[in-house]
Amino acid sequence: MHLDGKVVQRQRGVVLQTRHEQRRQSRAWCNLPACWETVWGQQTGRVGDISTSGCLVRTTQKAAAVGDVLRIEIDLAEGVRVSAWGTVVHRATGTFGLQFKTLARLSGLQSPLSCAGKAVCR
């Protein structure tokens, strides 16, 4: 949850932690299918939020390690798939944060994101 530039983490209605939001790009909250390749083979999961600078990936499989560089493919909408290279910058149980390296290729994300956001993202 976001409150005045702060990220608030809650569990069962109790505030666990607040921190100042450091992202430069606003993210679209979503639930988009994704796949990527690691040393363990092809992995799958869902993108929980996305922007032109990065995304948060949720997976039930082994999450990528901080510092790993990988190529992710994200299904934005029916028939619209985007792939990008990125570096894992955060890892927690079942999730990892990916910072995109191929920003020039992702400049076209803004239009599909705004369209997909109405139908897919919440």
Per-residue pLDDT tens for 65-78?
999 999 999 988 78
Share in percent of the chain as helix, strand, coil (round to 5) = 15, 55, 30
Owning domain of residue 72: 24-119
Model-wide pTM > 0.85:
no
pLDDT value of residue 67: 95
Integer Cα distance of 65 and 91 in angstroms: 7
Residue 7 lies in a domain: no
Mean pLDDT, rounded, for 29-45: 90
Mean pLDDT, rounded, for 70-99: 91
User: What whole-number percentage of the chain has pLDDT above 90?
Assistant: 38
Instruction: Say if residue 100's pLDDT is above 60.
Output: yes
CATH number of the structural domain spanning residue 109: 2.40.10.220
